[in-house]
Amino acid sequence: MELKCKVFLRYCTCFAVIGTLLVWPAPVHSAVVVIGARPYLERVAKRVVEILEGRYISGNSLPIADYVAPIQLTDKGLSITGNVSFHSAFLAKIDSIEFDAQKFSEIFLNTEVTVQGALKWHGIGVVLDFAANLEEYNGTGTLYVTYNQFDFPLKVTKPFNSTEPTGSLQFMSIDNSNKIVTVGYPNNKYVQLISRAIMTNFDFRDYMIASFRNWNFQNLLKAVIDEVPFPEVCYNC
């Protein structure tokens, strides 16, 4: 009787293992690779940068919406309370744009493969005109805001059953170690506090950054993806 129980338990264990293997999700075979995936994404990034530097750092290609931000700031006996209206903002400069190779990765699913990395923008200058409606001061002026770094995730996805890859490029964040420098005109004590608020006031900064999130690079990226052929997918390499 004891022997029969042992045999029965062996069969139960065997069936349990087989059942687990049958229902376990089947991953894409590790032998499937994109030949030259990293150089491909680097070429895409380089071409995107060329177009950005040639067309997008002027005019209204990267718009920044008007907004009103509340302010309440006190320092060393000086206080300002009220609202500041920002308008006619534009992107004045980008010192450099580079491909962040450290963020490169490949993601294989059963139906598609994605190659991804990121673009880093350095030294971004934004000019904003403002009208201050404060209890202590009313006036107009201009701010020049310089951000240290922006991160833009870049990805290209290729369905296995299609010849047409798609891509995305979108503002994600300012860098955690970001240093923001703001210069205001006219250079009086009230405008100096308004300038400081860009660095310390969430609304001042986040309303501006909301426009960065709305920048649309789809047409640009589609043109680049059409121009730079997606590399061959090898199913047994």
Residue 104 contacts residue 152 (beta carbons within 8 Å) = no
- Whole-prediction pTM value? 0.78
Does 120 reside within a domain?
A: yes
> pLDDT band for position 2 (50/70/90)?
very low
Whether 25 shows a pLDDT value over 80: the answer reads: no
Q: Which whole number is the average pLDDT over 23-34? A: 60
Average pLDDT over residues 207-230: 93
User: Domain for residue 77, yes or no?
Assistant: yes
In a domain? residue 73: yes
More confident residue, 9 or 66: 66
What is the β-pairing status of strands 173-174 and 138-159? antiparallel
pLDDT category of residue 179 using cuts at 50, 70 and 90: confident
Q: What is the pLDDT of residues 73-116, one digit of tens each?
A: 888 888 899 999 999 999 998 999 999 989 999 999 999 999 99
With respect to residue 64, please indicate whether it lies within any of the assigned structural domains: yes
What confidence score (pLDDT) does residue 178 get? 63
Asked whether residue 13 is assigned to any structural domain, the reply reads no
Q: Which domain holds residue 67?
A: 29-230
Q: Is 12 within the bounds of a domain?
A: no
Grade residue 8 by pLDDT with cuts at 50, 70 and 90.
very low
User: Does the pLDDT at position 24 exceed 50?
Assistant: no
The answer to the question of residue 68 being in a domain is yes
pLDDT digits (tens, 9 = 90+) for 125-156: 999 999 999 999 999 999 999 999 999 999 99
What's the domain count of the chain?
1
Average pLDDT over residues 9-27: 46
Residue among 198, 156, 202, 148 nearest 175 (CA): 148
For residue 14, what pLDDT is reported? Answer: 46
Question: The domain spanning residue 58 has which CATH number?
Answer: 3.15.10.50
Q: Indicate whether 3 belongs to any domain.
A: no
C-alpha distances in Å from residue 2, one per residue of 12, 14, 101, 224: 15, 19, 63, 71
At 43, the amino acid letter reads R
